[in-house]
Chain A
Amino acid sequence: MWEQLLLPVLSLGGLSFIFGAGLSLASKKFEVETDPRIDAVREALPGANCGACGYPGCDGLAAAIVEGNASVNACPVGGSPVAEKVASIMGVETEASERMVARVICQGDCDRAIDKFKYQGIEDCAAASMLADGQKACSYGCLGLGTCERVCPFDAIHVNEKGIAEVDREKCTGCNKCVVACPKNVIELIPASSEVQVACNSQDKGKFVKAYCNVGCIGCRICVKACQFDAMTFNNNLAKIDYVKCTNCMVCAEKCPTKAIYADFMKKADQSA
């Protein structure tokens, strides 16, 4: 009985010992040096593989960060918490990177902006904008057919009942996908702390803006004069805020005659209280 068991146990045990020794020798001899920091950085990243950083997924970015090809705050989705973690792994200081969120810079919904024709066809902004720049009289505005909604991986942008896209700032990670997909270039990334935005994209002259939409920037430059912090610039018939200089004082939004500058006045009440 014992002899019958002993032979297979010994022979199989011996074989496994030889293979084990071979494998361990091979792993020493053919070892590929990898930086352990790549795995650590990879762990620190969110792991959504969204590609917003421009690299093929989180693995790609981790390798790029360790090789020094990308900055430690290159992940727009993770924001500053992730940047800090990555910086500590890499042993460098990170500048406090501001969380960015998407913002639709148009308020011309179906009550406020006019259409130049009735569009029949595929419910998609890219398809609609192929004919005469879309159905809106204003050729710069949000068409509201939801191309951004379909590309958002975080369910953070939706076309509201008035036919204009709106971003949920809590859910938005600033991954830039909607910005790229929008055929009208009417979505931009802004710092999450910003409470004031020029919510108009029209580069038409004031006369036309007035005819097309009643919340458009007509180029009166009252905001440029009103701003005490020199944060308002004016180019191509359109006001623009420099978010570094802006202090969210909301004076421009109060003065804007067409309310093309959007500000959350509730926030201001909170601040002063």
Chain B
Amino acid sequence: MTKKLRLFSFTGGIHPPDSKQLTENKEIEICKVPEVVTIPLQQHVGAPCEALVKIGDKVKLGQKIGQPKGFVSAPVHSSVSGVVKSIETVDLPNGGRASAIIIENDGEDRPDDSLKSEKELEDLSREELLNIVMEAGIVGMGGACFPTHVKLSPPENKKIELIILNGAECEPYLTSDHRLMIEHPEEIIYGMKVIMKILNVSQGYIAIEDNKPDAIKTMTDAVKDEKDIQVLSLRTRYPQGAEKQLIYTVTGRQVPSGGLPADIGVEVNNVCTAAAIARAVRLGQPLYQQIVTVSGGAVREPKNLLVRLGTSFRDVIDCCGGWTEEPAKIISGGPMMGTAQHTLDVPVTKETTGILLFTEKKAAQAEPSNCIRCARCVSVCPIHLLPLNISAQSLLSNYEEAERLHAMDCIECGCCSYICPASRPLLQSIKVAKKEITKARKQNAQAKQATESIKR
């Protein structure tokens, strides 16, 4: 049964034109597997991986080629079978750089079976399941890329009571979660059961925004026989899919400042993550492919594509027939929170949920003018901050004051910049403040450690 949460929702937020009609009715197509893939050794939050292969080595499809160096990390796997050509530093779609393994595809797709388990879900223990999730390199696929096995092992003193699967997909243009829910609901339900078993939880919700009625219907049909899982229909409002907002909408509980959802007994995972877990447990398939929405005004044929990780953006866009006019802005992820790209020679990674190409007209930015103190940014901020004040302090390099105004609680959703009638770069300045505050905190901690070691 579907429960509607139409009236009850978080406060603030915006409703940008979602432009999902470009791809929402298009089935997921398989993107052409490229001649060469580039697999970065860091596709997640946390420590980078160590390469397990050398130049000239033969690798199989799904073979582990990067070993994590810490607990908060996730292994990376080859997305083709072939020969390691080189290991070099490459640009990443998130704007950073990392070492990457470049593999020449032999086109045979010889699979690696090391992860395959003969057992059924009922026979697998909690530890075995957690180990499969870790070995499969699964990370949060809503875009945050936090290693899922870390998320699924909360500290002993925190009891998780409730799991929410996030199918809100509130970012405009993106339809990859939407299509997955329509085409593979059984995978999502299976993944959900794995998560519930690992965390020993008996209550789960699948939350979907009400601009996807077909997805709500398919998922509701799929959970007909599951008494523990319920589908929720949420009000369409950006950022409904942000973790803290989603939890508030579903449960009415607020994540404390600086805290985690586990502090209030809730765990949120993306539907894509659940499907990836299902494939890992059922088929022994590690995370080596990703559904990517290619959309925006400049692309010739907008599509939802199943892409092997490490395929370059150029190859993915070629698979959609290229562009109709030279795009002025190319974004990895959604238009609200994604990252602009300066080259097409970046690989699709575990965080790439969409590739958007915008024409010059669409990408044009207005010149910022002075703040008129209309406080629209205050009314849309889903975290109830004062974006105008934090931004002003940040622009004066007064980061201590920005910290006092809770700059670190900002979830970087971009509602403030979107709504600002003076086109002020609110979010960018808050991001600068966050970076400087983190830097200062690190320095303080180091200084404290140094003085303590002297005292000893």
What residues on B are CB-neighbors of A130 within 8 Å? 95, 428, 431-432, 435
Q: Which of A49-104 contact B (CB under 8 A)?
A: none
B51 touches A (CB below 8 Å): no
- Complex contact A127–B428 (CB within 8 A): yes
- Complex contact A117–B429 (CB within 8 A): no
Q: What residue of chain A has the Cβ atom nearest to residue B434's Cβ?
A: A130
Q: Which of A23-57 contact B (CB under 8 A)?
A: none
What residues on B are CB-neighbors of A120 within 8 Å? 365
Tier of interface size on chain B: 10 to 19
Partner of B425, one of A117, A122, A150: A122
A143 to B91, CA, bound (A): 19
A132 to B91, CA, bound (A): 8
B453 to chain A minimum Cβ distance, whole angstroms, is: 19
- Complex contact A122–B395 (CB within 8 A): yes
- Complex contact A131–B95 (CB within 8 A): yes
Given contacts A131-B95, A131-B339, contact A122 B428 (CB under 8 A): yes
Q: Which of B391-407 contact A (CB under 8 A)?
A: 395, 397
- Residue-wise, chain B 333-373 has the 8 Å CB interface mask toward A (1 for contact) of 00000011011000000000000000000000100000000
Give the secondary structure class of B's interface: mixed
What residues on B are CB-neighbors of A151 within 8 Å? 397
- Complex contact A132–B95 (CB within 8 A): yes
A133 to chain B minimum Cβ distance, whole angstroms, is: 8
29 contacts between A and B (CB under 8 A): A116-B342, A116-B343, A117-B342, A120-B365, A121-B428, A122-B395, A122-B425, A122-B428, A122-B432, A124-B395, A124-B432, A126-B435, A126-B436, A127-B425, A127-B428, A127-B429, A127-B431, A127-B432, A130-B95, A130-B428, A130-B432, A130-B435, A131-B95, A132-B91, A132-B95, A133-B95, A133-B97, A150-B397, A151-B397
What residues on A are CB-neighbors of B365 within 8 Å? 120
Q: How many residues in A have their beta carbons less than 8 Å from beta carbons of B?
A: 14
A127 to B429, CA, bound (A): 7
What residues on A are CB-neighbors of B96 within 8 Å? 132
- Residue-wise, chain A 119-153 has the 8 Å CB interface mask toward B (1 for contact) of 01110101100111100000000000000001100
Q: Which of B373-418 contact A (CB under 8 A)?
A: 395, 397
Q: Which of B97-137 contact A (CB under 8 A)?
A: 97
- Complex contact B342–A132 (CB within 8 A): yes
A54 to B365, CA, bound (A): 42
Q: Which of B405-456 contact A (CB under 8 A)?
A: 425, 428-429, 431-432, 435-436
A222 to chain B minimum Cβ distance, whole angstroms, is: 27
What residues on B are CB-neighbors of A127 within 8 Å? 425, 428-429, 431-432
Q: What residue of chain A has the Cβ atom nearest to residue B435's Cβ?
A: A130
A249 to B343, CA, bound (A): 44
Interface centre among B96, B97, B397, B436 (most CB of A within 10 A): B397
Q: What residue of chain B has the Cβ atom nearest to residue A115's Cβ?
A: B342
What residues on B are CB-neighbors of A132 within 8 Å? 91, 95-96, 342
| Residues of chain A at the chain B interface (Cβ within 8 Å) | 116-117, 120-122, 124, 126-127, 130-133, 150-151
A126 to B339, CA, bound (A): 17
A116 to B428, CA, bound (A): 20
Q: What residue of chain A has the Cβ atom nearest to residue B363's Cβ?
A: A120
Interface centre among B91, B339, B342, B431 (most CB of A within 10 A): B342
A28 to B181, CA, bound (A): 86
Q: What residue of chain A has the Cβ atom nearest to residue B431's Cβ?
A: A130
What residues on B are CB-neighbors of A122 within 8 Å? 395, 425, 428-429, 432
Seed contacts A117-B342, A126-B432, A127-B428; 18 additional CB < 8 Å A-B pairs = A116-B342, A116-B343, A117-B340, A121-B428, A122-B395, A122-B428, A122-B429, A122-B432, A124-B395, A124-B432, A126-B435, A126-B436, A127-B425, A127-B431, A130-B431, A130-B432, A132-B91, A133-B95
A235 to chain B minimum Cβ distance, whole angstroms, is: 19
What residues on B are CB-neighbors of A150 within 8 Å? 397
A166 to B397, CA, bound (A): 22
A209 to chain B minimum Cβ distance, whole angstroms, is: 15
A132 to B431, CA, bound (A): 14
What residues on A are CB-neighbors of B97 within 8 Å? 133
A131 to B397, CA, bound (A): 19
A151 to B365, CA, bound (A): 28
A144 to chain B minimum Cβ distance, whole angstroms, is: 17
Q: What residue of chain B has the Cβ atom nearest to residue A137's Cβ?
A: B342
Q: What residue of chain B has the Cβ atom nearest to residue A116's Cβ?
A: B342
Q: What residue of chain A has the Cβ atom nearest to residue B328's Cβ?
A: A118
A18 to B245, CA, bound (A): 72
What residues on A are CB-neighbors of B395 within 8 Å? 122, 124
A130 to B97, CA, bound (A): 12
B402 to chain A minimum Cβ distance, whole angstroms, is: 13
Q: What residue of chain A has the Cβ atom nearest to residue B330's Cβ?
A: A117
A204 to chain B minimum Cβ distance, whole angstroms, is: 10
Q: What residue of chain A has the Cβ atom nearest to residue B96's Cβ?
A: A132
What residues on A are CB-neighbors of B436 within 8 Å? 126
B429 to chain A minimum Cβ distance, whole angstroms, is: 6
A159 to B250, CA, bound (A): 52
A140 to chain B minimum Cβ distance, whole angstroms, is: 13
A88 to chain B minimum Cβ distance, whole angstroms, is: 33
What residues on A are CB-neighbors of B435 within 8 Å? 126, 130
What residues on B are CB-neighbors of A131 within 8 Å? 95, 339-340
Q: What residue of chain B has the Cβ atom nearest to residue A147's Cβ?
A: B397
Q: What residue of chain A has the Cβ atom nearest to residue B342's Cβ?
A: A117
A156 to B215, CA, bound (A): 62
A120 to B343, CA, bound (A): 16
Interface centre among A126, A130, A132, A150 (most CB of B within 10 A): A132
A171 to B397, CA, bound (A): 24
What residues on A are CB-neighbors of B428 within 8 Å? 121-122, 127, 130
A200 to B446, CA, bound (A): 31
What residues on A are CB-neighbors of B339 within 8 Å? 131
A142 to chain B minimum Cβ distance, whole angstroms, is: 18
A171 to chain B minimum Cβ distance, whole angstroms, is: 21
A-B pairs with lowest CB-CB distance, top 9:
A117-B342, A132-B95, A116-B342, A127-B432, A122-B425, A131-B95, A120-B365, A121-B428, A122-B428
B92 to chain A minimum Cβ distance, whole angstroms, is: 9
A233 to B286, CA, bound (A): 48
B408 to chain A minimum Cβ distance, whole angstroms, is: 16
A116 to B346, CA, bound (A): 14
Interface centre among B95, B365, B428 (most CB of A within 10 A): B428
Q: What residue of chain A has the Cβ atom nearest to residue B365's Cβ?
A: A120
